[in-house]
Amino acid sequence: MLNRKYLLKLGVRTSLFNHSCCPSATISKISGTTKQKVETVRDVTEGDEICISYLSDGYLPRDERQRILSARGFTCRCERCSPESTFDRDVPLTADISLLPLSNEKIAPLRRRYDQLVADLQSMLGFSTPQSCSLWIMRAERWLVDASKPPYQLHQFHWLSVHLYKMLRDRYKTMYVSNAGNRKDMRKKTLYYGKLIIRAEFAVLQPLDPHKQAVDAFLDDWNDMGMPKNGAWKLLKELEPSAEIIIKSLNE
Ligand SMILES: [Zn+2]
């Protein structure tokens, strides 16, 4: 058994690793060098293939992952994608509040509005004003309200909702940083969506993504907004007891 933090100091050929949607390693740049490091993110046994994820976002349901990966020329058959998969943590990604599956057809109207929100946000980036930003936020929050009601009643960890939480968190933070609107409200909303994202990622990705991008982003927001230093750890512990373990292992 190799340790979780076992580090392979490789400078080249990291692109030769195969993909898995539940990767056993991550690749990152070693700062100040042209080298990359491969770090295992869970325990691996000798003889196991070490895989990385080619997806920039692990918080996607199977169909969406396959769509992106098939554009790269393959069908993923990892333990999360295979038809025999028992990876039930993915269930909320495409389910309603009672964890019953929601078909693409059923949520098609919501999906169209979501796609429009994403397109509008992309065309705004770099050109947004506080007014256009607030307007977009209003539409996105209305989407979340509609999504939570019949006939959809999306699970709060449904991938579309969680993606909107991320976009809303970024918009509120942009408003906060640019001194637009009531800063106290902007801060509250930024941290509120940050908390929802942490809950979702812990619920769905926890065994897959111990680096906890959501936790890192939350801590960044917390610091950028001048919140009291120790408060973040206390809050994270309340939010998600296993966050503490993750943080400890990151600080080792
Ligand atoms: Zn897969």
Report cis status (omega within 30 of 0) of the bond before 210.
Answer: no
> Of the candidates 181, 194, 182, 187, which has an alpha carbon nearest to the alpha carbon of residue 227?
187
Q: Quick check: 180 and 130 in contact, CB under 8 A? A: yes
CA 47 to ligand 1 centroid distance, Å: 20
Higher pLDDT, 207 or 83: 83
CA 22 to ligand 1 centroid distance, Å: 7
The pTM (predicted TM-score) of the whole model is: 0.85
CA 179 to ligand 1 centroid distance, Å: 42
Confidence of residue 214 (pLDDT cuts 50, 70, 90): confident
CA 27 to ligand 1 centroid distance, Å: 18
Residue 140 has pLDDT above 90, yes or no: yes
Residue 22 has pLDDT above 70, yes or no: yes
pLDDT for the residue numbered 41: 78
**Mean pLDDT (the chain, rounded):** 86
**Digit-coded pLDDT (tens) for 32-88:** 887 888 888 777 888 888 898 899 888 999 999 999 999 999 999 998 998 887 778
> Of the candidates 166, 240, 238, 250, which has an alpha carbon nearest to the alpha carbon of residue 206?
240
Task: Show me where the domains of the chain are located.
Answer: 7-56, 91-251
Residue 101 and residue 41: Cα distance in Å, rounded? 30
Neighbours of ion ligand 1 (CB under 5 A): 21, 76, 78, 80-81
CB atoms within 10 A of CB 41: 19
Burial class of 64 by CB neighbour count within 10 A (0 to 12, 13 to 18, 19+) = middle
CA 222 to ligand 1 centroid distance, Å: 33
Residue 1 has pLDDT above 60, yes or no: no
Task: Name which of 11-15, 64-68, 130-134, 233-237 the model is least confident about.
Answer: 11-15
- What tokens were used for 89? 């943590």
The vertex-36 CA angle with 30 and 40, nearest 5°, equals: 100
pLDDT (average), residues 221-236: 85
